[in-house]
Chains A and B, each alone.
Chain A
Amino acid sequence: MIEFVRNVRLWFAPAEVRRDGVTPDYRFSLANERTFLAWLRTALALIGGGFAVDQFLPDLRWGWRVGLALALLAAGVLCSLRAVNHWVRCERAMRRGEDLPVSRFPAVLSLVVAVVALVMVVVVLVGWEG
């Protein structure tokens, strides 16, 4: 938790990241930046999906519709926050010459997406019956 708070401070303090270690080859930094952007697009897709569930499934019961939309929006928020946190951690690891951080997040996110997709299937089937 303390480690996380220190990382949050780094999000806003570019000079502090730069004080650590040596500057890596700029291509590694750019690759890290592209990974960050890919995660950000994933987050945006989740957020867009949340809006889409709310807008394009009007026949769904209110609870299901709002629950799914909020779950997708929350997943988007988590994904975007994690994107910047992981980017900072990778940047710092590269500067210090350490191993890149490993993460359980991709596995968690894919499980969440799989569960949401299954729920969607069930909801659409049940929604059509009702």
Chain B
Amino acid sequence: MSASGSVPRDPDRDPGLQPERTRLAWRRTTLSVTVAAVLAVKTALHGGVSAPGIIACALCCVLWLGFLGVAHRRIRALASSPDPVAFAPRHATAAVLCTTAMAVCGAALVL
């Protein structure tokens, strides 16, 4: 089973592939954000085009871009070194605030 005698293992590389798994977790999360944003935009533009609808739509797009920005920075940081720096609470808070604001936006649209 084991590939003994094949390519020597890079000693810097974590055999558990933790940075890669974390990177993919960020990717999955950006996908979830995209789905939520698409549903939000659909809700915003459901009853025809109106000024509040356009504003909510733009807001959701900005929040989506904000989350993508946080995710992109983190993915770059994870890919750049074999011993990645810890995730900063500021970025965690930014990601959560994007999510929360999207939900608040949705509550305003639903009502």
A residues neighboring B (CB under 8 Å): 10-14, 17-18, 23, 26-27, 29-31, 33-34, 36-38, 40-41, 43-45, 47-48, 50-52, 54-55, 66, 69-70, 73-74, 76-77, 80-81, 83-84, 87-88, 91
Task: Give B85's nearest chain A residue, CB to CB.
Answer: A26
Task: Give A42's nearest chain B residue, CB to CB.
Answer: B32
B residues neighboring A (CB under 8 Å): 14, 16, 18-19, 21-22, 25-26, 28-29, 32-33, 35-36, 39-40, 42-43, 46, 83-84, 86-90, 92-93, 95-96, 99-100, 102-104, 106-107, 109-111
- Chain B residues near A44 (CB-CB < 8 A): 29, 32-33, 35-36, 99
Assembly CA distance A80 to B111 (angstroms): 22
| 15 A-B residue pairings within 8 Å (CB atoms) | A10-B89, A13-B90, A27-B14, A30-B21, A37-B26, A45-B32, A52-B39, A55-B43, A69-B107, A76-B99, A76-B103, A77-B99, A80-B99, A84-B89, A88-B92
